[in-house]
Structure 1
């Protein structure tokens, strides 16, 4: 081959296979750097009898390499519903209903005057227990799988905490509204203490594990509120319980203290958020 581009005679002989090997190798070397000659050679080869065979081979290769259309994926449960499911199943939801209905029955059927104070004493630990019962290997058979997803860790705990609060807060507050109890704190007085205890359990969970932290916070609250009332003389339990609740949750100053404590617990929880990334702790 001479000149800048391959002559037509050389290309024709290459296409029909009559070009000597040395000249064919020289032409192929030239085609690596000359797009114009490569296009001419390609057209010449397609015009021969071998061109139709090569076209069929090319079409078959392309058909085999093209992936088949993907089947439509089956409908999936919404991510939020999947993440929240353990928070609304099992024995926890019936337990919330039992606490609310039990207090109403005590007041309107048994005539127990301390029904509202008793409900206000128990209500703050209900969401705490709900959170503990909705997260971990003991509560979720898919916990290991859930913990390996990007939504695991504290985000998953907070999702289930929000569901627990969304269920328990209106039920228990509504039950408190229908309970007569002169002198006792209002039906919503337990909300800030309940939120604070829940955040405290989550914050302590970074050190102790969620179930142990729940036992510490919930058990500490029940001991502080119920123990003095239960130690009161017969017939004075309801009055002492009402006095205890008034001291712990009544008044603007006390509620402000609970709000400040809730903010502090939220800060501690944010500081320990990475602890929930370690599956073995929970």
Structure 2
């Protein structure tokens, strides 16, 4: 906390919505810890064009609230403050992480381990590695949009919304899927002597990151749900189509060879790294296009 406070012109432009996005983000973060500037912003909003409407809404809420609700609430204790912060973090993480998607990822990982060790199925490892790169893409699709978040329009149009909220929820999805699937891959047995050596357990991480960022880039053009569907189906087609077109090779062996081609070696991993950097640069260059993601 420094002694800096927002100038009057910055407060005025923030209150009327004319402040640039990056400046609004910075001031929005400052207001979380500076009561003095928050009070000035509140006064500027009440003095603006929206003031009468906000006053009417406030009066209606106070009139409808029961008498005990109008009393001044006591200062929150440390555990309650910590609980409130954790609640805000969980909300920002998105519907996918706090919903059934995270449980489904864990069940997929456990199911692959059970099939490999309990059922003796040699195809569990290549199948898990083939699906792993699109698991975060599916999580992003379920984390952002009016189809999954009832407060999507409000969240996306807030100063902290747009690309920053989308990246926050994407990071939460990656934080759940990457450790779960990587640990599951480590627990799976190595390929048998009759199967080709498959890619390393962590070989899917960089491709998964590149595909996830590619879906975010396409979201600026097609919308989040359509973009993730295009990227996810494109990856699955790239993995499965060669297996369907070539005959004479077992499914497990063919899938292992295909994944080794995509994941193993410096050229392939270097290509995924270049794709990741390119997608990150495109996101930064088109960051203003995500200010209207409430329509996506």
TM-score (norm 2): 0.68
Match in the other structure for 1:128: 137
1:236 matched to 2:245? The reply is: no
Tell me which of 209, 212, 218 is aligned to 2:226: 212
1:102 matches 2:103: no
Q: Which has the larger displacement, 69-78 or 225-234?
A: 69-78
Specify the alignment match of 1:262 in structure 2. 276
- Name the SS of the counterpart of 1:181 in structure 2: coil
Out of 114, 120, 128, the position equivalent to 1:111 is 120
Kept in 1: contact 2:125–2:188 (CA 8 A): yes
Given the alignment of the two structures, is residue 191 of structure 1 paired with residue 205 of structure 2, yes or no?
yes
Shift of residue 270, structure 1, vs aligned partner: 1.2
Q: Is the 8 A contact 1:121 1:226 kept in 2?
A: no
Alpha carbons 2:96, 2:140 under 8 Å: kept: yes
Q: CA 1:255 to 1:99, structure 2 compared with 1: closer, same or farther past 3 Å?
A: same
State yes or no: 1:143 paired with 2:157.
no
Q: Residue 214 of structure 2 corresponds to which residue in structure 1?
A: 200
Question: Of Structure 1 and Structure 2, which has the larger fraction of its residues in helix?
Answer: 2
The 1-side partners of 2:147 and 2:112 are apart by 29
Cα RMSD (Å): 2.1
**Residue of structure 2 in register with 1:170 after alignment:** 179
User: How far did 1:267 drift?
Assistant: 0.7
Give aligned pairs, total. Answer: 215
Shift of 1:235: 6.8
Q: Could you tell me the TM-score, scaled by structure 1's length?
A: 0.71
In structure 2, the residue matched to 1:274 is 288
Partner Cα distance (2:132, 2:116) in 1 = 16
2:52 aligns to what? none
Larger radius of gyration: 1
SS at match of 1:152: coil
Long gaps (5+) in structure 2: 1-70, 192-196
How far the C-alpha of 1:70 sits from its partner, in A, is: 5.6
Alpha-carbon contact 2:90-2:98 (below 8 Å) kept: no
Give the SS at the match of 1:278: helix
Note if contact 2:94-2:144 (Cα within 8 Å) is conserved in structure 1: no
Query: Which moved further from structure 2: 156-165 or 93-102?
Result: 93-102
Deviations 1:106-141 (A, max 9, x none): 211222212111111000000011011011111111
Contiguous gaps of at least 5 residues in structure 1: 1-68
Post-superposition offset of 1:231: 5.0
